Structure 1
Amino acid sequence: MGVVHRGRGGELRADVAHPRERQDRQYRYRAGDREQRVLVSAYLLVSRSAEYETRLQSLLGERLAVIPGEFLTFGPDSVVSRVAGSPRIALLGPVLNYEETRGLVEALTAKHPDLGLIVVREQRSDLEDWVDELALHAVLSPDAGDDTTIRLLDRLAEWLVENGRAIASDFDAPAALEIDEEILGVLDVGLESGVDSSAPVPEEPEPEPRPEPEPEPEAPAWEFPPLDAGTPTEAIAVVAPKGGQGKTTIAINLATGLAEVAPNSVVLVDADLQFGDITAALALSPARTIVDAVADAAADELVLKTTLTHHEDGFFVVASAPSPELGDQVSPRALAQLIDRLRSAFRYVIIDTTPGLGEHTLITLEHVTDAVFVTVMGVPSLRAMRTEFELLTRLALMPGNRHIVVNQTDKNSGLTTKDVESILGAPVDFEVPKSSAVLLASNRGVPLIHDDVRDPAAKAIRSIVLRIAPEAFPKRSRIQRRRRSNEPE
């Protein structure tokens, strides 16, 4: 049921519902065919994260009004116009980029100069710029525990009261069906004399006391570590002239080895957009793929990180497109932008490319610091790689650091290392012997260098890792424990 007030401009209705059914106070103003929903609460959240919205509503209940960040598509004014009354504290984020946040800060403070502003954003290298350039009162991590969140809100509320920007009662839960004259004035709605506004208003049940916050859980082992300012980042393309050269195996184990020295700061991108199989080789079930990682929303680092799949060996994976048709939607330019974004957040970015020198592979080579070229000991493959080298040299696309890997070497192939170098026209950097352990590790979904550390192929791949990161010596006890934990019971 509800109490309806009719005015000159239309109809102002206060909807009555149990607090469990309506967490925020919402009033609807109708004028003709247009309906405007007016939010009246002490706290305001503008966010694109439904998960964070649900969590904050469970903490603040009807004291919180929520405006979905999707309204920012039409500009910050479209958000501010939905806010009536005088919210005291606004939380902006997560999943809002800098320009959106700046626009909101300017629009909200213009209308509510006494408003307390909190940006909800994880700690990262550019956060200091946000604090310096925006008129914010506090920064809150989206992963902060309930107790931490409440403490910060209470401290800011106390500061606003002490500085005359609010009164303590502003932060109380709003009374049921309370419609003050300020709201009516904003809406330019006057009450007609023929309406009895003194009718008794049904009382809303007292809200249940908020349960004591649970202890803040320990951070997960795979939490994204901050990338210190000035830390060099490296992007490494793994390239092969044809399929079946072992390129993906090299890429997976390279990411695994580098994750030992930069835990959770290594990301492996499956850029084989037609038939990438990194997630299959690692027994992963990704919720999102590279199609999501190159979407416009992923320009925000927080959104981008939600598209990654974590591997227990301490690195992340950008899964390949789920179908060739979807893979065709990933443009070369979008792939290049993805590499650059990942380099701003991770110490090492490894890209497993599409075989050959297609447009996606060429643009990848423009955005990397290193390239690992993989071939097998077959004359057709060796000649194809030499052709690649000649083309990349003419196009000035050969990365500054080039590493040549001859994979699946076999004494019975009829070729020597000298023969291989003669065909390639370049010296060989690494030889990885043919080994059944490679297939066994792949079938079990375990990186080779952590599955059988003594295997000759594993040792050879480890030498590739050491060339890029000399500190990446294997820790045998840890590796062997991982190996046993992955063995079938």
Structure 2
Amino acid sequence: MTPFTLVSRSVEYESRLRFLLGERLRVVPGEYMLLGSETVADRAGEPRIVVLGPVLNFEETRQLIRELTQRNPNVVLVVVREQRSELEDWVDQLDLHAVLSPDASDEVTLELFERLMRWMVTTGRAEAADFEVPTPTPDEVRAIVEGPFVPRVDEAEAEDAPVESDETAEAVPAGPRWEFPPLPSDTPSEALAVVAPKGGQGKTTMSINLASGLAEVAPNSVVLVDADLQFGDITAALALQPEHTIVDAVAAVDDELVLKTMLTHHRDGFFVIASAPSPEFADQVPAAALGVLIERLRKLFRYVIIDTTPGLGEHSLVVLEHVTDAVFVMNMGVPSLRAVRTEFELLRTVGLMPANRHIVVNFADKQSGLTVRDVEHIIGAPVDVEVPRSSAVLLASNRGVPLIHDDVRDPAARGIRSLVMRIAPEAFPKRTWIHRKRPAHEPQ
């Protein structure tokens, strides 16, 4: 029996709990929620303690709690979620036993589980035998996490094992820390360029949230490339501190193992290639090399998202040559819309309009003086997604988190979610009627 079950979309958090709980933990990937809470509960087995999250929204959590408690009224439920403004609503509306921060230390996490286990045994909800495998003490965890890794050597081998001194030992380059799920040969890789004719359209925000949303569909098989080489700010918006940038990635493109070490992992289950460290380094990323990098990444990841430089410079045009989809982002201002129309005409003329097109009107506002029909008339194409103006976008950016998971009920988050569903409709079978990809050559 496995007394603990984790339901989560975060591979990073799953790895942490597997380390702490070992064989006592059963994991059900959050992607099974697409098949319904009953399916998840079936796969959960008969746990004593269920950990929900991170990266599960309110409705998913509510459905799971209802299904799990119907099957076992004595089950203990722990939600893993940051201390956000809406957390009080979660506590008030959901029948929870504990809330745990995803950033809680191993010691704090183990202490919570210990207290819950003692309480369950004391109240008769479980027996001591249900938790028979001893939990590591905080001191043991600290020794493993902070101490050096010493491989196990059998005594019979130890006598013959050569001893290396510090002078003779050679440093072995570290490999990538994260597991990269293999891309099945029958699974097409999609590359998406996020494009805007001008700055200030919300292109970077759209790129970040698109990566976070698609990571729910393909955990750890999404990479976000910051190809705004002079002023890219994706890592700042995500509060990441990358050790490497796109300059390093381009130089390592021929070595898959080294290339993987150039990536920065985000806890939502996607990877980031940071922009050049400063504008003067942009010249070290030739346009052709950027195209080679995209093709290389498409062999490794299910989704490759490229946040481009505003306008249609050389690098942006090369990106459009190597992608399957383009997400065009604009606001409801007439100058922005006219620039988009000009952009469309140019791309059709040079034959660089990607096979699939997604038109997003950002900062949609009824007070702008324009309607969506006016927007479509100006740009000469139908609008696919509307993202309302929302102060939550700035708040999420200032906190360094994707909006799509920071405030799932916000109208802007829902608009972005519809874009994710449009790009990956196969992952949302119950709602594929909402959107579909529009081929760029489809008659208007």
Q: Normalised by the shorter chain, which TM-score bucket?
A: 0.5 to 0.7
Q: Which amino acid aligns with 2:181?
A: P
Checking the alignment, whether the CA contact within 8 Å between 1:258 and 1:469 is kept in structure 2 is yes
TM-superposition CA deviations, 1:49-74 (whole Å, max 9, x none): xxxxxxxxxxxxxxxxxxxxxxxxxx
TM-superposition CA deviations, 1:368-400 (whole Å, max 9, x none): 000000000000000000000000000010001
Q: How does 1:138-287 map to 2 (within 5 A)?
A: 222-287=178-243
Distance (whole Å) between structure 1 residues aligned to residue 194 and residue 161 of structure 2: 58
Specify the alignment match of 1:357 in structure 2.
Answer: 312
Q: Does the alignment pair 1:460 with 2:406?
A: no
Specify the alignment match of 1:390 in structure 2.
Answer: 345
Distance (whole Å) between structure 2 residues aligned to residue 411 and residue 348 of structure 1: 34
Q: How big is the alpha-carbon RMSD for the aligned residues of Structure 1 and Structure 2?
A: 2.5
C-alpha deviation, 1:433, in angstroms: 0.5
- Which consecutive residues of structure 1, in runs of 5 or more, have no partner in the other structure? 1-144, 155-170, 175-206, 209-218, 475-489
Checking the alignment, whether the CA contact within 8 Å between 1:261 and 1:471 is kept in structure 2 is no
Q: 1:363 to 1:285 in 2, by over 3 A?
A: same
Specify the alignment match of 1:406 in structure 2.
Answer: 361
> Which structure: greater helix fraction?
2
Q: Which amino acid aligns with 1:267?
A: V
User: Which sits farther off after the overlay, 464-473 or 392-401?
Assistant: 464-473
C-alpha deviation, 1:350, in angstroms: 0.2
Specify the alignment match of 2:303 in structure 1.
Answer: 348
Q: 1:173 to 1:268 in 2, by over 3 A?
A: closer
Q: 1:302 to 1:220 in 2, by over 3 A?
A: closer
Q: 1:311 to 1:436 in 2, by over 3 A?
A: same
Q: 1:226 to 1:173 in 2, by over 3 A?
A: same
Checking the alignment, whether the CA contact within 8 Å between 1:279 and 1:285 is kept in structure 2 is yes
Specify the alignment match of 1:300 in structure 2.
Answer: 255
Distance (whole Å) between structure 2 residues aligned to residue 231 and residue 376 of structure 1: 34
Distance (whole Å) between structure 2 residues aligned to residue 366 and residue 430 of structure 1: 24
Distance (whole Å) between structure 1 residues aligned to residue 321 and residue 333 of structure 2: 28
Specify the alignment match of 1:434 in structure 2.
Answer: 389
C-alpha deviation, 1:228, in angstroms: 2.0
Distance (whole Å) between structure 1 residues aligned to residue 388 and residue 264 of structure 2: 30
Checking the alignment, whether the CA contact within 8 Å between 1:372 and 1:402 is kept in structure 2 is yes
TM-superposition CA deviations, 1:35-60 (whole Å, max 9, x none): xxxxxxxxxxxxxxxxxxxxxxxxxx
C-alpha deviation, 1:473, in angstroms: 5.4
**How many residues are matched?**
269
C-alpha deviation, 1:349, in angstroms: 0.2
Checking the alignment, whether the CA contact within 8 Å between 1:257 and 1:472 is kept in structure 2 is no
Distance (whole Å) between structure 1 residues aligned to residue 400 and residue 426 of structure 2: 26
Specify the alignment match of 1:337 in structure 2.
Answer: 292
Q: Which amino acid aligns with 1:416?
A: T
C-alpha deviation, 1:147, in angstroms: 5.7
Distance (whole Å) between structure 1 residues aligned to residue 378 and residue 403 of structure 2: 29
C-alpha deviation, 1:470, in angstroms: 2.0
Secondary structure of the equivalent of 1:258? helix
TM-superposition CA deviations, 1:340-373 (whole Å, max 9, x none): 0100100100000000000000010000000000
Specify the alignment match of 1:163 in structure 2.
Answer: none
Q: Which amino acid aligns with 1:241?
A: P
C-alpha deviation, 1:173, in angstroms: 6.6
Checking the alignment, whether the CA contact within 8 Å between 2:421 and 2:428 is kept in structure 1 is yes
Distance (whole Å) between structure 1 residues aligned to residue 176 and residue 288 of structure 2: 34
TM-superposition CA deviations, 1:252-280 (whole Å, max 9, x none): 00000000011000000000001000000
Picking from 403, 406, 415, the partner of 2:370 is 415
Specify the alignment match of 2:403 in structure 1.
Answer: 448
C-alpha deviation, 1:329, in angstroms: 1.6
C-alpha deviation, 1:146, in angstroms: 7.3
TM-superposition CA deviations, 1:149-176 (whole Å, max 9, x none): x79xx9xxxxxxxxxxxxxxxx9578xx
Distance (whole Å) between structure 2 residues aligned to residue 240 and residue 173 of structure 1: 61
Secondary structure of the equivalent of 1:285? coil
Distance (whole Å) between structure 2 residues aligned to residue 422 and residue 435 of structure 1: 25
Secondary structure of the equivalent of 2:363? strand
Q: How does 1:71-150 map to 2 (within 5 A)?
A: none
- Which consecutive residues of structure 2, in runs of 5 or more, have no partner in the other structure? 1-148, 165-174, 430-444
Distance (whole Å) between structure 2 residues aligned to residue 280 and residue 227 of structure 1: 29
Secondary structure of the equivalent of 2:323? coil
Q: 1:220 to 1:359 in 2, by over 3 A?
A: closer
Checking the alignment, whether the CA contact within 8 Å between 1:270 and 1:319 is kept in structure 2 is yes
Q: TM-score, normalised by structure 1?
A: 0.52
Picking from 273, 287, 303, the partner of 1:318 is 273
TM-superposition CA deviations, 1:213-262 (whole Å, max 9, x none): xxxxxx99942112222321000000000000000011000000000011
Secondary structure of the equivalent of 1:363? helix
Picking from 283, 291, 301, the partner of 2:247 is 291
Distance (whole Å) between structure 2 residues aligned to residue 426 and residue 173 of structure 1: 71
The percent of aligned pairs where both chains have the same amino acid is 77
Q: Which amino acid aligns with 1:344?
A: K
Secondary structure of the equivalent of 1:328? helix
Checking the alignment, whether the CA contact within 8 Å between 1:465 and 1:472 is kept in structure 2 is no
Distance (whole Å) between structure 1 residues aligned to residue 406 and residue 428 of structure 2: 16
TM-superposition CA deviations, 1:447-488 (whole Å, max 9, x none): 0010000000000000000011125559xxxxxxxxxxxxxx
**Higher RCO, Cα 8 Å, sep 6+:** 2
Q: Which amino acid aligns with 2:330?
A: T
Q: 1:469 to 1:386 in 2, by over 3 A?
A: same
Checking the alignment, whether the CA contact within 8 Å between 2:239 and 2:400 is kept in structure 1 is yes
Q: TM-score, normalised by structure 2?
A: 0.58
Secondary structure of the equivalent of 1:381? helix
Specify the alignment match of 1:372 in structure 2.
Answer: 327
Checking the alignment, whether the CA contact within 8 Å between 2:176 and 2:260 is kept in structure 1 is no
Checking the alignment, whether the CA contact within 8 Å between 1:227 and 1:347 is kept in structure 2 is yes
Distance (whole Å) between structure 1 residues aligned to residue 256 and residue 425 of structure 2: 29
Distance (whole Å) between structure 2 residues aligned to residue 302 and residue 462 of structure 1: 33
Checking the alignment, whether the CA contact within 8 Å between 2:253 and 2:296 is kept in structure 1 is no
Which is higher, the Rg of structure 1 or of structure 2? 1
Distance (whole Å) between structure 2 residues aligned to residue 429 and residue 312 of structure 1: 29
